[in-house]
Amino acid sequence: MSEHNTADPKSARAHARSMGGTRVEAMPTVPAMDAAIRPDGVPAEAMLWDETIAAGGYAAKRLNRGARLRLVDTKGDACLSMLVFNAERPIERLNIADTIKVQWNAYLGEGRLLLSDMGKVMMSITQDTSGRHDVFCGASNAASNAARYGDGDNWGQHPNARDRFLLACAKFGLGRKDIHACVNWFKGVTVLTDGATRFDGGAAANVAVTLRAEMDVIVMLANCSHVLDPRPDYPVTTAHVSAWRGAVTPTDDPIRNATPEGLRAFLNVEEDLRR
């Protein structure tokens, strides 16, 4: 005999409805304008997204050009792996190799751009208080998590980032072939002179990255332990994400004009959207 009174449809409905309004740590605020804490200066009506992503959790969101996306490592051990697609044509996606090659640098930070595989800027990094990010080591997978934690399944206690992306992609009609090389936010990897990768871990609690969408994008985030993290117990903590409406980048924007390569990446977006 269940402790719940769910023996008939009306009782089951009453039982289900009694759960409404429950608060847990990892959940979205709907509507986002009701978020307990808003970024400085952002009016409630501009809020588009407010969600806490569990350790091992994932989330995805379509954002319009100009929207701002803030990622917060609330407890100091988040690891947000991110995929980015052009929302209008998801066949265009983040290209890590072009991102570092075109900008002549291996590290992401304030002022840098995320570039697509079609010679366009997808997002700009407008703020970064972490300084510990990684473009080289990518998403954990079922095999790597099984080797380290005993399992890596979406239905278990140690989900892997690749299989989180698989679910996020499926919900946008995308599949395994659409999971591209990702960015890992909040876990640093330094390249040494012989090419070796050194895992630097996270920076601190409450560090944040703010991005500006430079085209309509779909962003997918998986919050799973970093594949190089040597600690044994699935070391990852919750992350908070929020997004709000913002102005499309003006032509005198300092990030847009910072380098000749970056400026051409903006010009290519602007040309594509001139209709």
Q: How far is the CB of 142 from another protein (least distance, A)?
A: 7
The residue among 117 and 253 lying less far from another protein, judged by its C-beta, is 117
Distance CA 29, CA 50 (A): 5
Q: How far is the CB of 189 from another protein (least distance, A)?
A: 9
| DSSP assignment string, 4-58 | S--SSHHHHHHHHHTTTT---SS-B-SSGGG-SS--TT--GGGEEEEEEEPTT-E
The residue among 27 and 118 lying less far from another protein, judged by its C-beta, is 118
Distance CA 270, CA 121 (A): 10
Distance CA 179, CA 138 (A): 11
Q: How far is the CB of 3 from another protein (least distance, A)?
A: 43
Distance CA 201, CA 78 (A): 10
Interface with another protein by CB under 8 A: which residues?
91, 95-98, 100-102, 104-107, 115, 117-120, 136-139, 141-144, 162, 175-182, 191, 193-197, 227-228, 261-262, 264-265, 268
Distance CA 229, CA 102 (A): 29
Q: How far is the CB of 93 from another protein (least distance, A)?
A: 9
The residue among 28 and 109 lying less far from another protein, judged by its C-beta, is 109
CA atoms within 13 A on the CB side of 173: 5
Residue 183, both tokens: 């960015």
Distance CA 62, CA 220 (A): 9
Q: How far is the CB of 87 from another protein (least distance, A)?
A: 16
The residue among 76 and 90 lying less far from another protein, judged by its C-beta, is 90
Amino acid at 46: A
Distance CA 49, CA 64 (A): 12
Q: How far is the CB of 28 from another protein (least distance, A)?
A: 29
The residue among 14 and 191 lying less far from another protein, judged by its C-beta, is 191
Q: How far is the CB of 149 from another protein (least distance, A)?
A: 14
The residue among 47 and 94 lying less far from another protein, judged by its C-beta, is 94
Q: How far is the CB of 119 from another protein (least distance, A)?
A: 3
- What is the sign, positive or negative, of the torsion defined by CA atoms of 111, 48, 134, 87? negative
The residue among 39 and 188 lying less far from another protein, judged by its C-beta, is 188
Residues 6+ apart with CB under 8 A from 66: 212, 213, 245, 246, 247, 248, 249
The residue among 57 and 138 lying less far from another protein, judged by its C-beta, is 138
